């Protein structure tokens, strides 16, 4: 039996004041993905065929490489936020949740760096 009042038991258990920012970040990144995804699909329709040389030449154009970098970064950020929500909702062990959140962040950062490196390497004209 506790001598604390019902109000005293729930104080400090409420919102962490973090959900609104996360929610907005997901919505803004989703809106950005709609625009960038539409650009990407439209750009793909402009290619005559998908031969390696033509795609590399397409990526090497400055506007396309900048837009592709923005698409990669926005997609990775949106994915990070979405996977984070799934982990927070469905992983119940406290230590396992922390590990899963760290792995989520590191994997998404790694994939983003690889994508940015690949686009930059092509756009700057370096070939393997």
**Tens of each residue's pLDDT in the chain, 128 residues:** 667 777 777 776 656 556 788 899 999 999 999 999 999 999 999 999 999 999 999 999 999 999 999 999 999 999 999 999 999 999 999 899 999 999 999 999 999 999 999 999 999 986 55
With contact defined as beta carbons under 8 Å apart, do 112 and 72 qualify? yes
- 3-state DSSP call for residue 93? coil
Does 8 fall in a domain?
Answer: no
CATH code, domain with 84: 1.20.1300.10
What are the backbone dihedrals phi and psi of residue 43, each rounded to the nearest 5 degrees, phi first?
-65, -35
Contact criterion met (CB below 8 Å) for 26 and 78: yes
pTM above 0.75, yes or no: yes
What's the rounded Cα separation, in Å, for the pair 103 and 109? 10
Helix axes 94-123, 62-90, angle to 10 degrees: 170
Q: What spatial distance separates the first Cα and last Cα of the chain, rounded to whole Å?
A: 71
Range of the domain at 56: 19-123
**Residue 43: which of 32, 54, 52 has the closest Cα?**
54
What are 99's two structure tokens? 């590990």
User: Which residues lie closer than 8 Å to 60 by C-beta, 6 or more apart?
Assistant: 122, 123, 125
Would you say residue 9 lies in a domain? no
Whether residue 4 is contained in a domain is answered as no
- Residue 1 pLDDT: 65
Q: Give how many domains the chain has, as a whole number.
A: 1
């Amino acid at each position: 039996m506790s001598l604390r009042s019902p109000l005293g038991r729930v104080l400090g258990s409420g919102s962490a004041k973090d959900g609104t920012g996360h929610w907005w970040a997901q919505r803004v990144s989703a809106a950005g993905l709609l625009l960038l995804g539409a650009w990407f699909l439209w750009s793909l329709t402009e290619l005559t065929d998908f031969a390696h040389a033509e795609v590399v030449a397409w990526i090497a154009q400055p506007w396309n490489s900048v837009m592709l970098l923005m698409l990669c970064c926005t997609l990775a950020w949106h994915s990070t936020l979405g996977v984070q929500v799934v982990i927070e909702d469905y992983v119940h062990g406290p230590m396992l949740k922390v590990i899963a959140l760290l792995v989520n962040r590191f994997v998404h950062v790694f994939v983003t760096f690889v994508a940015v490196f690949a686009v930059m390497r092509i756009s700057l004209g370096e070939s393997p």
